Structure 1
Amino acid sequence: MKMTALRPLTVFAFLLSFSAVVNAHGDEKHNEESQYFSGTDSDAATLVLKFHKALETGNGDLAASLLADDVLIFEGKGVERSAQEYASHHMLSDMKYLSQMQIELIEHHVKENGTHAISLSRSLVKGRYKGKEVNHIGNETIGLEKLNDDWKITHIHWSN
């Protein structure tokens, strides 16, 4: 099996282990900061925030450079299977949309485990786009892998 074929399985296993840790705490009370934000000072989290900023400011070259060549992106009913496919197709519309939105990060958890990391976040998205008011919560899962000592985004799943 090729290494790229293992990535979705690795991400799934990582997510499964992360959810087990979260569920193990049950109804324990935590302070708000640790409940809604964790691991946000890690190198993987820094890369995710850099990716968001690149999209929001229309820097497509930077955004594309943070993606693994064979990144797998799920959004709605669509899928894009490479950085090149995303950069030449959906990235432009994402940048146009995000440039019109006010985005408030309301929850963000990043967990690094060796050469793999997972970023789980929720954001409040508000603005006006193509004549329509936007006001919703967006959910994002980003899988990362350390390739040649640099973190790269290998998977994104966006939903709202």
Structure 2
Amino acid sequence: MTDKTKKSAHSFGDATTTLGTTMTAQTDQMIALTKANLEKMAGHSRVAMERTMKTVDTLSDVTKGNLEAILESSQIASTAFQSLTQESAEYSKQSLQRAAAATQAMMQVQSVTEFLMVQREYAMTELAIGMAEIAKVSQAMFTNMTAIYEPLLKRASSAMASKD
């Protein structure tokens, strides 16, 4: 091999070595950059996932609280309406008994005047009892509606307070 050929081969070898070194350095840089970007993305993903989980937990707590308030309110309503139904049935039963007694009294009268007096007394008594029953039911409805809405109002207040 001639000197010129040896120099060319040597130069080619040096160039190849330099190229290899450069490519290795660039590859190492790309790997490092890619690794840094992936770690950065993983960090952002982790933060986003933590925020999402926190939001899901918060929504879960809010939903649970809402459902508990609705359930409590429904139970109060059920009990209240059951009580009102029983009281209404009792009132109807007593009203029928009073009507039967008044009918018997009217059948035993001796004159039209006496009949009208018994009928007037029955009507006045039923009017007074009916007005008292209306007042009683109105008060019970107001009390029951207040009790029914209380758990929902507490929940709404709690939700508003937690926003601040």
Under a length normalisation based on structure 2, what TM-score does the superposition of the two structures give?
0.25
Greater RCO (Cα-Cα under 8 Å, separation 6 or more): 2
- Greater percentage in strand: 1
Rg bigger for which structure? 2
